[in-house]
Amino acid sequence: MSFSRRSLIGAGIAGLAATSLALPTWNAPRGKRPRNVIFCVSDGMALQTMAIADHLLQATEGRRSYWSELLDREHVVNGLQDTRSLSSVVTDSAAAASSWGCGRRIWNGQLNMYPDGTELRTLTQLLHEQGVRTGLVTTTTVTHATPAGFCVNAPNRNLEPLIAERYLPSGVHVLMGGGNRFFAPNRRADRRDLYAEFAAAGYHVVRDRAALDAAPNGRMLGIFSEGHLPYTVDRRHDSALDGAVPTLEQMSRKAIAALRGAPNGFLLQIEGGRVDHGAHGTDLAAMVYDQIEFEDAVRAAVEFALDDGETLVIVTSDHACGGPSLNGAGWNYDDSNDGLAAIARMRSSYGPLLADIGTSPTADRVRDAVRERLGVELTAAEAEAVVLSLGRKGPFELSIFHGNPSTTLAMVLGNHSKVTWTSGNHTNEHVLVTAVGPGADLCRGLTPNHRFFDKILACYGLQFENPTMDLETARRHMEKNRPVAPGAAAMHEGEIANLLLGAV
Ligand SMILES: [Zn+2]
């Protein structure tokens, strides 16, 4: 195909310095198929998440966030996605990624599988048969629900040691993220050395940022932390972490380098997976700075697409989470801008902050830690509310969505950041879809999540129908299997507890 490339001048938004950004002018005839697809996912991103990130960057750096830049460009297609699952109007990440992965809505918590054990064929399985190469890059454990949802079958998303095993015969070309505890022989219950097994299968195994930079392009397994990768806000204020762990943008550029030139094209998923974790924890700094890092990775994908000319880039989320909103505050809402200034002073996620407060919290310790880590001066009453919640003594028992220390901390911080949350859970709203490149028209309008399976396959000239299962049949089987595959609600409570303990 042919396309011309030109630099476009920035949007000219009042109060914002004009920036130049090279963006595609696709001259391909409508209907031209791409050769490659890069599917970028900000896990758990509500539209408000992007808006807060965008306004923060405008206030602090005089630039727009990258995704915001893309939205109103010529030949960029925007749409929405309906994210529900088979079992609920509110999906979890496993069902959401599986809907893309197998073209069917499934039960929350499962991966490309029905509750009766029926395994559904996945995108990577189908594409590998056609010689298409694939890659999965994330800031979570590489075995987490979203990357796994493109690839493997599993009755429960939490079976990450099993998912790590299943990646090996799956033939995925590039795997990058966290999760040493699912690959190392001294961390696995069965003592298998998956690193050695991947190496024997021809993968370059890399474990830190320097090794990633030095690795030749080819099959690659990059595992850069014990569990999930650190939050961006913590990395930026810890030089040792920053030196050891690559950013999502660096991993994405390396993955693209390893996949480009694949004789039959490639499919790459890039996930900003911890945007969702920040939102679960109602942890504003964790969420916002990971969103900014995600959008920098999108820039890497679009820049490649510009050079390549045969790549469709789709940018979206699997669902929203937390319902964060920066609220109007003060006379004529003048105080809302102070909220951005408060966010700009935050230097930590809640994990290190809670470690500073310790297990015997006092109002003074809370005020000191919040001042030091977040640059916020809490009132005595606000600090006392946090102490009470850390002792599980309220004070917000009135809402089932605000009954833990994380949401209490977020509430009192909201007096300063002006950001409040609907909960620390996923929500049901439609999410944004932005597409650039040949095939972008496929993403116009409101698309049910499972239709992306058809759209992605169509990019490679393929079509496939997995079997269907109705809700009642699925529910009958799920009741029998409940001990094996717990519902998402129980799972998320555990996830939130782990976040607070810094265990993930
Ligand atoms: Zn989640």
Among 25-29, 118-122, 125-129, 248-252, the range scoring the smallest mean pLDDT is 25-29
Residue 346: band (very low, low, confident or very high) from pLDDT cuts 50, 70, 90: very high
**Can you list the positions of beta strands (E) in 167-206?**
174-178, 204-206
Measured distance between the N- and C-terminal CA atoms of the chain, rounded to whole angstroms: 45
Task: Give distance in angstroms: CA of 499 to centre of ligand 1.
Answer: 11
Percentage of the residues of the chain whose pLDDT score is greater than 70:
88
Q: What's the rounded mean pLDDT across residues 151-178?
A: 96
Q: What's the rounded mean pLDDT across residues 135-158?
A: 97
Question: pLDDT at position 413, please?
Answer: 97
Task: Give distance in angstroms: CA of 280 to centre of ligand 1.
Answer: 6
Please determine, for residue 22, whether its predicted confidence score (pLDDT) is greater than 90. Answer: no
Cα separation, 441 vs 490, in Å, equals 39
Task: Give distance in angstroms: CA of 350 to centre of ligand 1.
Answer: 17
242, two tokens: 């920053």
114, two tokens: 């029905």
Cα separation, 414 vs 206, in Å, equals 41
pLDDT digits (tens, 9 = 90+) for 284-325: 999 999 999 999 999 999 999 989 999 999 999 999 999 999
Please determine, for residue 21, whether its predicted confidence score (pLDDT) is greater than 90. Answer: no
Task: Give distance in angstroms: CA of 410 to centre of ligand 1.
Answer: 17
Residue 12: band (very low, low, confident or very high) from pLDDT cuts 50, 70, 90: very low
Residue 6: band (very low, low, confident or very high) from pLDDT cuts 50, 70, 90: very low
C-alpha closest to that of 354 among 286, 290, 421? 286
Task: Give distance in angstroms: CA of 279 to centre of ligand 1.
Answer: 8
Task: Give distance in angstroms: CA of 443 to centre of ligand 1.
Answer: 24
Task: Give distance in angstroms: CA of 178 to centre of ligand 1.
Answer: 17
Question: pLDDT at position 32, please?
Answer: 81
Task: Give distance in angstroms: CA of 426 to centre of ligand 1.
Answer: 6
Task: Give distance in angstroms: CA of 140 to centre of ligand 1.
Answer: 11
Cα separation, 55 vs 48, in Å, equals 10
**Can you list the positions of beta strands (E) in 247-336?**
266-272, 311-316, 320-321, 325-326
Please determine, for residue 10, whether its predicted confidence score (pLDDT) is greater than 80. Answer: no
Residue 392: band (very low, low, confident or very high) from pLDDT cuts 50, 70, 90: confident
Question: pLDDT at position 73, please?
Answer: 87
Q: What is the mean pLDDT of the chain?
A: 89
Task: Give distance in angstroms: CA of 276 to centre of ligand 1.
Answer: 5
Please determine, for residue 184, whether its predicted confidence score (pLDDT) is greater than 70. Answer: yes
Among 41-50, 370-379, 390-399, the range scoring the smallest mean pLDDT is 390-399
Cα separation, 464 vs 458, in Å, equals 9
For 345, other C-beta atoms within 10 Å of its C-beta total: 14
Question: pLDDT at position 488, please?
Answer: 44
Task: Give distance in angstroms: CA of 275 to centre of ligand 1.
Answer: 9
Cα separation, 160 vs 256, in Å, equals 25
Question: pLDDT at position 9, please?
Answer: 25
Task: Give distance in angstroms: CA of 254 to centre of ligand 1.
Answer: 27
- State the alpha helices, DSSP H only, in 375-404: 380-390
Instruction: Give Cβ neighbours of residue 476 (< 8 Å, ≥ 6 apart).
Output: none
Question: pLDDT at position 482, please?
Answer: 63
Q: What's the rounded mean pLDDT across residues 217-233?
A: 97
With b meaning 16 or more CB within 10 Å and e meaning fewer, what string describes 254-286?
A: bbbbbbbebeebbbbbbbbbbbbbbbbbbbbbb
Task: Give distance in angstroms: CA of 177 to centre of ligand 1.
Answer: 17
Task: Give distance in angstroms: CA of 248 to centre of ligand 1.
Answer: 19
Please determine, for residue 339, whether its predicted confidence score (pLDDT) is greater than 90. Answer: yes
Please determine, for residue 422, whether its predicted confidence score (pLDDT) is greater than 70. Answer: yes
Task: Give distance in angstroms: CA of 156 to centre of ligand 1.
Answer: 15
Task: Give distance in angstroms: CA of 91 to centre of ligand 1.
Answer: 9
Please determine, for residue 30, whether its predicted confidence score (pLDDT) is greater than 60. Answer: no
Task: Give distance in angstroms: CA of 176 to centre of ligand 1.
Answer: 20
Residue 3: band (very low, low, confident or very high) from pLDDT cuts 50, 70, 90: very low
Task: Give distance in angstroms: CA of 195 to centre of ligand 1.
Answer: 28
Task: Give distance in angstroms: CA of 35 to centre of ligand 1.
Answer: 31
Task: Give distance in angstroms: CA of 277 to centre of ligand 1.
Answer: 6
Question: pLDDT at position 74, please?
Answer: 83
Peptide bond into 395 cis (omega under 30): yes
Q: What's the rounded mean pLDDT across residues 87-107?
A: 96
Q: What's the rounded mean pLDDT across residues 365-391?
A: 95
105 touches 124 (CB < 8 A): no
281 vs 9, more confident: 281
Task: Give distance in angstroms: CA of 83 to centre of ligand 1.
Answer: 13
- State the alpha helices, DSSP H only, in 183-283: 194-200, 209-214, 232-235, 239-244, 248-259, 274-280
Task: Give distance in angstroms: CA of 501 to centre of ligand 1.
Answer: 17
Question: pLDDT at position 207, please?
Answer: 98
Please determine, for residue 161, whether its predicted confidence score (pLDDT) is greater than 70. Answer: yes
Range of 7-16, 21-30, 478-487 with top mean pLDDT: 478-487
Task: Give distance in angstroms: CA of 157 to centre of ligand 1.
Answer: 12
Task: Give distance in angstroms: CA of 288 to centre of ligand 1.
Answer: 15
Task: Give distance in angstroms: CA of 295 to centre of ligand 1.
Answer: 19
